Chain A
Amino acid sequence: MTDQIREQLSALLDGELPRDEMGLLMRRLDKDPELRRTFGNYALIGETLRAPGGRIAAPSLAARVSAAIGEAPAIVGKTSTAGPAATVELPQHVALWKRPIVRTALAASAAVTAVLLIRPDVTQVAQLEVTPASSFAMSASPTPAQSQRLAGYLVAHSQFSTPMVRRNLLSSLLAADPGITRVSYEMGQAP
């Protein structure tokens, strides 16, 4: 069932595919360029949602990389059949609360749309009115990111946070964190 295979692809992209299913899927991917394209499209969808607009890679890039690598020698150096075991210590996630509050919010039928539609507070009637969800208004063309402006905004914003939150925000600014996976913003990060 190709649907089943594509669902595995989707799970693989999210890092949610059990390891024992990866082997078969990888072999299929090696043989089927259509499947590889699908994987690439799924990745593109995510990128577009997080950072709509801007450049995307030309469809030929992956093939060009593959061709260029074909001329390169196979990987030498540190390889181990056991995998990168000892030094990789990824934290396990632990829920702090047993009963998630968010369940009540999402249980209400209207709230399922709440992910994309935030209901206005009725006590702020003077300022707000209910409007239907609108799609993105502006078309965009790519220009360079104004990353240090965002830092300025963050600092300006932090002045109005509570003292603890301000400290958290400024600490985040101090932390060098280039590996933000879902973000298209690269401010002040040194290689």
Chain B
Amino acid sequence: MKSREPGDEDAGLPAGTEQSDLELVRRAQQNERGAFDLLVLKYQHKVIKLVARLLRDPTEAEDVAQEAFVKAYRALGSFRGDSAFYTWLYRIAVNTARNSIASRQRRPLDYEVELSESEQNNVAARLKHDDTPEATVLSEEIRQTVNEAIELLPEDLRTAIVLREIEGLSYEEIATAMDCPVGTVRSRIFRAREAIDRALKPLLD
């Protein structure tokens, strides 16, 4: 990457999530299967969203996502960590989606401007009559549940989780911002997640 000049002010960025991902990758590379499972659990929603956008037929998203993850697992030996894991996974997912489209001989859905209005309506209609309509409705309920649960949280828990999930601050940065120890930050974020998870349980069971 870039070389450092002596006396340069270090302009680095917090890399907690990336280091943690790399650690999981390292373990997976040493055949700790549970480690790769965690990476799937962490990024599955992102990959599904990404793939669903690229495919003309969103009902294929689950299959393509699964294929992408399997490809990633098989290629894990060649991942050297010079980019973030998700960056690497992202490229694999996009390629997998592209190949699946090519094999069905359709044009990739890159820019919505290419769709005529009637085509847009068709896509929407298909989404409504999805093979998994529950997934669509469920995601909306999840959104509402999460938002309501967040609003009900006590101030300090809500602040902590918002700074973490939306602003992407590290625990240390949040501790500075909230003027409390790092351990308190970790506990607050955990309690916030627990409260929201409890609210989600009836939906996801």
Contact = CB atoms under 8 A, between A and B. Distances in A.
Within 8 Å by CB, do A and B touch in the complex?
Answer: yes
Interface of A: 6-7, 10-17, 19, 22, 26-27, 29-30, 36, 38-59, 61-62, 64-66, 68-69, 72, 74-79, 81, 83-84, 87-96, 100, 102-103, 106-107, 112-113, 115-116, 133, 135-136, 139-148, 178-179, 181-182, 184, 186, 189, 191
B62 A61 contact: yes
Nearest to A57: B44
Given A41-B200, A45-B165, A178 B52 contact: no
A144 B113 CA distance: 11
Contacts of B159: 106, 112, 115
A104 to B, nearest CB: 10
A108 to B, nearest CB: 12
Contacts of A178: 87, 90-91
Contacts, number: 302
Given A10-B193, A94-B11, A144-B112, 6 more contacts: A42-B193, A55-B45, A84-B25, A89-B1, A106-B159, A142-B52
Contacts of B177: 100, 102-103, 106
Interface of B: 1, 9-23, 25-38, 40-50, 52-53, 58, 61-62, 65-66, 69-70, 73-74, 76-84, 86-88, 90-92, 94-95, 98, 109, 111-113, 120, 123-124, 127-128, 132, 135-136, 138-140, 142-144, 146-148, 150-151, 155-156, 158-159, 161-166, 168, 170-171, 176-179, 186-187, 189-190, 193-194, 196-197, 200, 204
Contacts of A96: 9
Contacts of B62: 57-58, 61, 64
A191 B45 contact: no
A15 B164 contact: no
Contacts of A19: 23
Contact of B29 (A15, A79, A143, A184): A79
B148 to A, nearest CB: 7
A88 B41 contact: no
Contact of B49 (A41, A55, A95, A100): A55
Contacts of A143: 120, 123-124, 127
Given A12-B20, A56-B139, A72 B200 contact: no
Contact of A74 (B31, B124, B140): B31
B30 A30 contact: no
8 contacts: A14-B189, A53-B140, A68-B70, A75-B28, A90-B19, A91-B13, A107-B179, A144-B53
A51 B143 CA distance: 9
Contact of A15 (B11, B18, B138, B163): B18
Nearest to B34: A30
